[in-house]
A and B are shown apart, each in its own frame.
Chain A
Amino acid sequence: MADASLGLWTVPLAVFGGAIRVSTPFLFVSLGECITERSGRINLGLEGTLVMGAMSAYGISYLSGSPWLGVLAAGITGALFGALHAGICSLPRVNDIAVGIALMLLGTGLAFFLGKPLIEPTAARLPAIDFGWWSDVPQLRAALRINVLFLIGVAIAPLLYWAFKTTRWGLLIRTAGESADAARAMGHSVLLIRLRATMVGGFLAGIGGSFLSLFYPGSWNEGLSSGQGITAVALVIFARWDPMLCLWASLAFGGAAALGPALQSVGITSGYHLFNAAPYILTLAIMIITCSPKRTLTGAPAELSITR
């Protein structure tokens, strides 16, 4: 047989492939949220932004025939949602978490409503780059068909790490996040910094959504996100507000999501619910190990409403 099965080797291969395929939305949302939270705000609405991004990308790609236009539309939609969040939060005595939850419901509801006629048609998909040309193992070649958005996401992580550390903009965002008073004393508008940070965060989350509908799984339906946006927001805390750790955490979550189906496919069938829950068990375990009643979370921006 030409395409002989790989037996147990499928499992590491699927985890590897899954890390690449499934992680991209996690990566974009968590990097976006990382920027927003570093500026001192939590935007829980990114689940809604992700779903809105997925829907608008699919719609624009279907109407225009260009998936890249869809990605752009998803980003703009995301930025608008970010602006809405930041705008409402600029008002006095508004709780950013409550606004986030409201926007999460608004985003998903609006996307389901506007996306109704998009469930049936098939839109143009984003292309994949074939990095497996050197291999004659079809399974490996399939795993190495990588979308360019994934590569962009991987590139953004170190860029962001560097930007936070060394650029003026990075410093401003961090200042707004650590001490709003200090930023004000320097003569900067904290609200404006946070508005921009939330918009950029929304832009990235929207693009994460476009990956879902335009590449993998690759169509628009209402169960598409199934909570990935909210998981990614939690990932930021898990990654200690560090873009590089966001990258590794996203890859780990992607790989873990592939673990359940892959183990079943090689015949390890007992306790598949447990394997499906692997990412969440992992999160809980790390949270429990690293938490301490004596201090706040390391790396947490001091202005966040959960740490203040």
Chain B
Amino acid sequence: MDFGTISRRHLLQGSAALALGSTLGVRGAAAAETTVGFIYVGSRDDYGYNQAHAQGAAALKKLPGIKVVEEEKVPETDAVEKTIESMINLDGATLLFPTSFGYYNPHVVKMAGKFPKVHFEHCGGLWSDKDPKNAGSYFGYIDEAQYISGIVAGYSTKSGKLGFVAAKPIPQVLRNINAFTLGARLANPKATTQVIFTGDWSMPVKEAEATNSLIDQGVDVLTCHVDGPKTMVENAARRGAMVCGYHVNQSPLAPKAYLTGAEWNWEALYPKFVKMIVAGEAIPNFYRGGLKEEIVKVSPYGEMVSAEARKHADDVKAKFMSGEYTIFKGPIADNKGKTVIAGGTDRGQQDPELEKMDYLVEGVIGATA
């Protein structure tokens, strides 16, 4: 190996190690180690999407014989291919987690073709039969956790008005909004969810304005689907509203206002993947699941969550864990009065129709366009 040339990545690694005191970038360790590479689109301590993945990476660091290399703020362009190549060629990574949705096509597909012995696990659920077999795409049904958040929110609201700060009206976001609302209406059939779309994944000023506008309208419990929920959580708590978190547990930011939240559970899934690879098992190319499969989880309840709410939420959670619960169970009407799921039709967790969702259910105030 050539130590004479310092790649951009190693420079970054070195500086990250310097800044964060982490122990990255030490090469030449025991040959028996498996090196796992993590690539994040943003900063890994953003209290959001990237932090959730970084927590999964941290869980892997604790396993014996596993070395983790990480790179943050890699854009969804050719840059990710360079990162992948250097992780493979310089660090000897044999398992890679390119964690952002937009990395997959064409970058991960191309790299998987070029390095057939390396395993790629992409987050987003995009794998199809035509793609290389050493690539896979996993995905979590976080709407199940949002549904539990909704139940808790439905019990906790005094005004019956809930607020949802969302980035864009794409199917995953709409599914979260709908699940949250359906959960809330289980607890309080009159509850409504007011949704505001900010237009992009990270717009702190817009998110703060949306939070303030919702609270001005009488909303007293808020949740969100943006990359970094910190802005919403802090601003809502300052105005005395309650919040349900997203991506990771934000209760340290607002311990008094935090009810519960929908979290990713990558720290359970990633060690599972690594164990499968070490044992020589094949990870299904298309891997997905919800609460039962330990891909998502619910934050511990905050102190102001009532006993009644806890019980109801725990009951439903238990049903999810045994796999006998369906959120999108007909009849369900959208907020314009049109029936979107007919009576008698159950759209289960894995139903592909749900991935095309383009409506907001009855009880949501807002529009998809």
In-complex Cβ contact of A261 among B196, B228, B253, B367 (8 A): B196
A239 lies within 8 A of chain B by Cβ: no
| CB–CB A1/B159 < 8 A | yes
| CB–CB B235/A261 < 8 A | no
Interface with B: A109-117, A170-178, A201-209, which one? A109-117
| CB–CB B199/A217 < 8 A | no
A95 lies within 8 A of chain B by Cβ: no
CB-defined contacts of A22 to chain B, threshold 8 Å: 205, 209
CA distance A123 to B15 in the complex (A): 24
B246 to chain A, nearest CB (A): 15
In-complex Cβ contact of B216 among A142, A218, A219 (8 A): A142
A270 lies within 8 A of chain B by Cβ: yes
CB-defined contacts of A4 to chain B, threshold 8 Å: 218
| CB–CB B198/A261 < 8 A | yes
A35 lies within 8 A of chain B by Cβ: no
In-complex Cβ contact of B230 among A219, A257, A261 (8 A): A219
CA distance A224 to B228 in the complex (A): 11
| CB–CB B209/A257 < 8 A | yes
| CB–CB A217/B208 < 8 A | yes
| CB–CB B216/A6 < 8 A | yes
CA distance A139 to B230 in the complex (A): 22
Number of B interface residues, CB 8 Å?
47
CB-defined contacts of B196 to chain A, threshold 8 Å: 261, 264-265
Q: A5-B217, A219-B234, A223-B203 are in contact. Are A270 and B367 (CB under 8 A)?
A: yes
CA distance A129 to B69 in the complex (A): 47
| CB–CB B204/A221 < 8 A | yes
B47 lies within 8 A of chain A by Cβ: yes
| CB–CB B234/A218 < 8 A | yes
Q: Which chain B residue shows the least CB distance to A224?
A: B204
Q: Per-position contact with A for B151-170: 1 when CB-CB < 8 Å, else 0?
A: 00000000101000000000
| Chain A contact surface mostly | helix
CB-defined contacts of B227 to chain A, threshold 8 Å: 223
Q: Per-position contact with A for B335-369: 1 when CB-CB < 8 Å, else 0?
A: 00000000000000000000000000000011101
| CB–CB A264/B197 < 8 A | yes
| CB–CB B206/A257 < 8 A | yes
CB-defined contacts of B199 to chain A, threshold 8 Å: 260, 272-273, 276
Considering only residues 138-175 of chain A, those with a C-beta below 8 Å from chain B are 139, 142
B31 lies within 8 A of chain A by Cβ: no
CB-defined contacts of A122 to chain B, threshold 8 Å: 234, 253
| CB–CB B228/A221 < 8 A | yes
CA distance A107 to B106 in the complex (A): 32
Q: A122-B253, A265-B217, A270-B369 are in contact. Are A17 and B212 (CB under 8 A)?
A: yes
A92 lies within 8 A of chain B by Cβ: no
B227 to chain A, nearest CB (A): 8
A64 to chain B, nearest CB (A): 20
CB-defined contacts of A276 to chain B, threshold 8 Å: 198-199, 206
| CB–CB A261/B20 < 8 A | no
| CB–CB A18/B209 < 8 A | yes
Q: Which chain A residue shows the least CB distance to B45?
A: A120
A216 lies within 8 A of chain B by Cβ: yes
A228 lies within 8 A of chain B by Cβ: yes
CB-defined contacts of A5 to chain B, threshold 8 Å: 159, 161, 216-218
A197 lies within 8 A of chain B by Cβ: no
A266 lies within 8 A of chain B by Cβ: yes
CB-defined contacts of B6 to chain A, threshold 8 Å: none
A sample of 21 cross-chain residue pairs with beta-carbon separation below 8 angstroms, ordered by A number, consists of A5-B216, A17-B212, A18-B209, A116-B16, A116-B45, A119-B46, A142-B215, A217-B234, A218-B231, A219-B231, A221-B202, A222-B43, A226-B204, A260-B199, A264-B196, A269-B366, A270-B367, A270-B369, A272-B197, A273-B199, A276-B206
Using a CB–CB cutoff of 8 Å, the interface residues on chain A facing chain B are 1, 3-6, 10, 13-14, 17-18, 21-22, 112-113, 116-117, 119-120, 122, 139, 142, 212, 216-219, 221-224, 226, 228, 257-258, 260-262, 264-267, 269-270, 272-273, 276
8 A-B pairs with the lowest CB-CB distances in the bound complex, closest first: A223-B202, A269-B367, A5-B218, A217-B208, A265-B213, A261-B210, A139-B216, A120-B45
